[in-house]
């Protein structure tokens, strides 16, 4: 057997045409396109199409894809009813995971793992997951369900539903840019979990549920919820908060990354610029000053740099989005990435079956 590598750090597990992280040049490539450039110049629907269909859409393809999303943005009433019966106070990610699992019963192609069927399921999951995420508070608190507005983009619909219609014009662009930045990031824990499940030839819904389960963890998607704690303080209070946690050898969520070792996450650089611009538009730069100060403090004290979750948390807070929705928003975006990986995995499948180094008695 080969040497044991804890957490499989740096161990190649698949050959993929979907995404790579160019650490040396600090850029992320999705199907030959720069994620950073896509986030600044494209709509989420275009990037999702790229992930699923392997090329950017032309005008006719984009029109048809958008129409398909609109058509598939329907949740069976039985799924909604079942979710409204869940206990009060349930975490939105648990509600979302249950909802996606329930949707599988209504997909006519559930057990067809062909490439074309998987592409159609990807569109269904993308549309329905976004609508569920936008309605999580409606379902669990108000026991209602709101429909999407076909005049709005996919990301704008999610923002508008989460905010119960109380959005401001400046929010749409930074929200969608963040939404695109979360769409795909190679073999993160949730993506690997989805591919492992897909390798058994289980259906795409099961693989996405596995991704959702992994994403909830505080060391993965759940990090953005914890990162927002820093932004409850002013600059001096944030420094005291960080130094206190460091003194107790506790992790500062939103800092450090398994892949980015020697500098800031390139996605975080974009999010930082978005935060500065948004603070200028609302006329209050407290969140930016706190973020910038903590970033420099962590570099000096721990040689750690912010990842996307850190600045995303600040932006979501500025938008008035409750922290419990940060990870579901991440999930609504990443569905496109998970689906692309499921399609790729099942197109040329090999079951994942690693070995363990036994340390017990013989």
Q: Is 309 a catalytic residue?
A: yes
Question: Would you say 177 and 39 are in contact if contact means Cβ atoms under 8 Å apart?
Answer: yes
State the Cα–Cα distance between residues 283 and 312, nearest whole angstrom. Answer: 19
Q: Is 257 a catalytic residue?
A: yes
Question: Would you say 76 and 83 are in contact if contact means Cβ atoms under 8 Å apart?
Answer: no
Count how many residues are written for the chain. Answer: 362
State the DSSP H helix or E strand holding residue 44, giving kind and residue range, or none if neither: helix 44-53
Q: Count CA atoms within 13 Å of residue 73 on its CB side.
A: 25
- 154, 185, 220, 341: which one is catalytic? 220
- As given in the structure block, the two tokens for residue 187 are 């073999």
Q: Is 60 a catalytic residue?
A: no
Neighbours of 232 (CB within 10 A): 11
Q: Please, what's the largest Cα pairwise distance for the chain?
A: 68
DSSP string of 296-332, one letter each residue: HHHHHHH---B-HHHHHHHHHHHTT--GGGHHHHHHH
Question: Would you say 103 and 79 are in contact if contact means Cβ atoms under 8 Å apart?
Answer: yes
Question: Would you say 335 and 125 are in contact if contact means Cβ atoms under 8 Å apart?
Answer: yes
State the Cα–Cα distance between residues 163 and 135, nearest whole angstrom. Answer: 10
- 137, 257, 265, 341: which one is catalytic? 257
CA nearest 185: which of 266, 297, 129? 266
Catalytic residues: 220, 257, 309
């Amino acid at each position: 057997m080969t040497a044991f590598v804890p957490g499989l750090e740096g161990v190649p597990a698949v050959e993929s045409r979907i995404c790579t992280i160019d650490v040396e040049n600090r850029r992320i490539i999705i199907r030959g396109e720069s994620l950073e450039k896509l986030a600044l110049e494209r709509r989420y629907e275009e990037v999702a199409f790229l992930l699923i269909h392997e090329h950017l859409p032309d005008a006719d393809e984009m029109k048809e894809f958008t129409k398909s999303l609109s058509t598939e943005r329907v949740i069976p009433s039985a799924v909604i009813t079942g979710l409204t019966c869940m206990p009060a106070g349930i975490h939105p990610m648990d509600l979302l995971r249950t909802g996606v699992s329930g949707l599988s019963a209504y997909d006519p192609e559930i057990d067809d793992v062909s490439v074309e069927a998987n592409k159609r399921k990807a569109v269904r999951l993308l549309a329905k997951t976004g609508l569920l995420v936008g309605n999580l508070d409606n379902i669990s608190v108000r026991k209602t369900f709101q429909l999407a507005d076909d005049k709005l983009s996919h990301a704008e619909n999610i923002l508008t539903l989460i905010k119960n219609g109380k959005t401001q014009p400046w929010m749409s662009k930074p929200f969608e840019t963040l939404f695109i930045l979360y769409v795909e990031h190679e073999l993160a824990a949730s993506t690997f979990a989805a591919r492992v499940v897909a390798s058994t030839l289980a259906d795409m819904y099961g693989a996405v549920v596995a991704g959702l389960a992994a994403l909830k963890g505080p060391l993965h998607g759940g990090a953005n919820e914890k990162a927002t704690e820093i932004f409850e303080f002013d600059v001096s209070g944030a420094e005291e908060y960080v130094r206190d946690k460091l003194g107790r050898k506790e992790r500062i969520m939103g800092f450090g990354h398994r892949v980015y070792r020697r500098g800031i996450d390139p996605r975080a650089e974009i999010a930082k610029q978005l935060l500065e611009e948004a603070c200028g538009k609302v006329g209050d730069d407290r969140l930016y000053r706190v973020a910038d100060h903590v970033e420099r403090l962590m570099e000096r004290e721990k040689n750690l740099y912010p990842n996307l979750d850190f600045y995303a948390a600040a932006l979501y807070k500025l938008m008035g989005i409750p922290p419990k929705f940060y990870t579901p928003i991440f999930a609504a975006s990443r569905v496109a990435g998970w689906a692309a990986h499921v399609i790729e995995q099942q197109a040329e499948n090999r079951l994942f079956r690693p070995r363990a180094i036994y340390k017990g008695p013989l």
